[in-house]
Structure 1
Amino acid sequence: MIYVNGVRFPSDSSSVEGLDMVNALLEHPHLVSASQSFRAVPERKFSVSEESGSQGSAEPTCVYVFQREYAIADPALVEIVGTDEATTCVGIVVRNCKNGMTSIAHMDSPDVVDIGLSQMLSLVPDHDDAILDVLFYILVSLKSFDFSFDGLNLLIKICTAMQVHLVGAFDDSATQVWSNQPLLAFELKDGNDDTRSKQHSEMEGYSFQLCIKIVEKLAESKVNFQIQNFQVLKNNTRWDSEGNANPIFHGLAVETSCGSVVPASFDRSTRCPDEIIRRIRLGASFKDPGCTGRSMDVVHIAMMMRHYSDTEILVVASTSPSAEGPDFVHNHKRIWQYLIQHPDWRETFRSKLPRVFERIASGNWVMTSDR
């Protein structure tokens, strides 16, 4: 269930389509005000200095998530969680305001929303949530009968333990002419009109379909979600002098101790551990049981792609070529170079074991799977 400023959303208990809910959230006065406040916050830039790990270094403990990844952070162990590089993707944060457990994900497709939210919530709730839910419903009932007292709205917000922030997914509906990739065939979960669903997919681009799916799943859930920030679509879009749409923000960071969420960007030093392998994983054939050892197709593609012009790489590799960050092309070239130099995946995943890392006292990451 969704709540905004302590009030059930949508207020009508009858079924409401995801598209209508998204449009209503974009226009909700409380979320419009929150979006304006978010835009007024300077973007925080994260970088690990060369002195990191040395005595006297005060670098915050940070966990970064790439596209199609999630992390759950205990505030006792992690100070900052964040993600960036989002254009048509959504950076979503779910935080339990009672115990501070914070989950963050970088979702890139409606196809990953179901399992993504399930995984995000796996460790965030605590055992007192049932008691808290009873108190929450009592407070909401009092409010519905116009019974009021100082602090009622505050108590409702506190009892809505799961606070949600969404940042990213700019309005790409007018930018599809850039890409030669076909739109993914997304259908609205509860839509009865297939034609209408396809029209939405064609008209609204990638971002709208992803936001619709996320909002639908939040609304369907039995968990109480208090949406704090809806910095997506038109709320996260700026237009240049030529009428091109671009994201206002590509990323966010969360201070786990207090739940503060700010616009953020991360350089390569903070996108760790195992940056290149994690980037490669996104496009890997991990669902193909016939992919064993050296894959010449992958190597041939990498060798071909590295000779493409920057514009060609953007068109082939991005859902929003005109909106990507300055290092998008360079990062893809680094991926292809690694694949050419290491064509056999068994060289990277020795004994077919996952690459496991842990943070040591200095704050650096070390791989433990080879031990």
Structure 2
Amino acid sequence: MIYVSGVPFAPDESSQGVDTLIALMEHPLLVSASNSFKSMAEKKISISENSSLERSKISKWVYIFQREFATVNPALVDVVGTDEATTCIGIAIRNCKSGMISVAHMDFPSVVDMGLSQMLSLVADDDSDALLDVHLLGGFDDISSQHSYHPTKGETKLEGYSYPLCAKIIETLRNRTEKFQIQMLHVLWHNTKWDSEGIGYPIFHGFVWDYLIRHPDWRETFPSKQPRVFKRTADETTWEEQ
């Protein structure tokens, strides 16, 4: 079951995943969240082999490769994240009650059902009324040129890689019994930039959840915070925050 701002989101029980996806992509609150996300100021942090001070502050990292997931306790892990996603989708699910976070890097619709089940087995609890915050980032408009492609309602065969994957994730979240509150949906045309020749590229390739670094008192303030996005440099020693 999907929620937005604490309200159940159910456009039509008979609708397919793509219809729910389009409706969510056009939801004013989620559009605003996506626009705010894109406007975040860039900040650089550097972790080098010789920087013992910085390493002492950021000591426990979990990096997630394609088709992997990790579930972490913010009290034990400083940073969890993934990058190098183009048509893939990064998904973060947080238990609002316990603070546990599960992050995955999904690449094809065929991995979504099992992937979400594995993530939720370690994040969800027995409280059926508990809300699970969901942040989706990645993918881009890998179909169109010059302008964004918007699928039509009822469209069953989606082109490209990102659209079928996003539709499958949303459909699975909608059909499960847990309560998923979509906090961010920065995917597809929201995450696409165009060059002078009309070729689309993803704006963000990944994200890092580094909550404990800035907020050691996360148990008191965690519910109001959002993940931040970084881009890893070629030498893999510097992260540029978006």
- TM-score normalised by the chain length of structure 2: 0.82
Counterparts of residues 39-50 of structure 1 (less than 5 Å): 39-43=38-42, 45=44, 47-50=46-49
Distance apart, 1:61 and its partner CA: 2.3
User: SS of 2:122's equivalent?
Assistant: coil
Does the 8 Å CA contact 2:92/2:134 hold for their aligned counterparts?
yes
**Residue 135 (structure 2) aligned to one of 165, 168, 172:** 165
The CA RMSD over aligned residues, in Å, is 2.3
Structure richer in strand, relative to its length: 2
- Structure 2 residue 96 is the aligned partner of structure 1 residue 90: no
- Structure 2 residue 205 is the aligned partner of structure 1 residue 250: yes
Structure 1 unaligned blocks of 5 or more: 134-158, 176-190, 272-371
Number of equivalent positions: 218
Could you tell me how far apart the structure 1 residues matched to 2:144 and 2:55 are? 50
- Structure 2 residue 219 is the aligned partner of structure 1 residue 264: no
Residues 153-201 of structure 1 deviation map (CA, whole Å, 9 limit, x = unaligned): xxxxxx52x00000000110127xxxxxxxxxxxxxxx9xxxx64xx33
Counterparts of residues 1-371 of structure 1 (less than 5 Å): 1-12=1-12, 14-43=13-42, 45=44, 47-52=46-51, 57-127=56-126, 129-130=127-128, 133=129, 159-160=130-131, 162-174=132-144, 197=156, 200-201=157-158, 204-256=159-211, 257=218, 258=222, 259-267=225-233, 269=236
Q: Letter of the aligned partner of 2:177 in structure 1?
A: K
Q: Letter of the aligned partner of 1:80 in structure 2?
A: V
Does the 8 Å CA contact 2:47/2:55 hold for their aligned counterparts?
no
Q: Letter of the aligned partner of 2:25 in structure 1?
A: L
Q: Letter of the aligned partner of 1:50 in structure 2?
A: E
User: SS of 2:121's equivalent?
Assistant: coil
Does the 8 Å CA contact 1:238/1:247 hold for their aligned counterparts?
yes
Q: Letter of the aligned partner of 2:119 in structure 1?
A: M
Residues 231-259 of structure 1 deviation map (CA, whole Å, 9 limit, x = unaligned): 00011011112111011111111134435
Name which of structure 1's ranges 222-231 and 71-80 shifts more when overlaid on structure 2: 71-80
Could you tell me how far apart the structure 1 residues matched to 2:226 and 2:54 are? 28
CA change 1:269–1:47 in 2 (3 A) is farther
Residues 23-82 of structure 1 deviation map (CA, whole Å, 9 limit, x = unaligned): 111110000000011111135556431235579832252211011110001111102211
Q: Percent sequence identity over matched residues?
A: 53
Distance apart, 1:89 and its partner CA: 0.3
CA change 1:43–1:113 in 2 (3 A) is farther
Q: Letter of the aligned partner of 1:263 in structure 2?
A: V
Distance apart, 1:9 and its partner CA: 1.1
Does the 8 Å CA contact 2:11/2:23 hold for their aligned counterparts?
no
Matched residue, 1:280 = none
Could you tell me how far apart the structure 2 residues matched to 1:45 and 1:25 are? 32
Does the 8 Å CA contact 2:69/2:102 hold for their aligned counterparts?
yes
Between structure 1 and structure 2, the one with the greater Rg is 1
Does the 8 Å CA contact 1:88/1:206 hold for their aligned counterparts?
yes
- TM-score normalised by the chain length of structure 1: 0.55
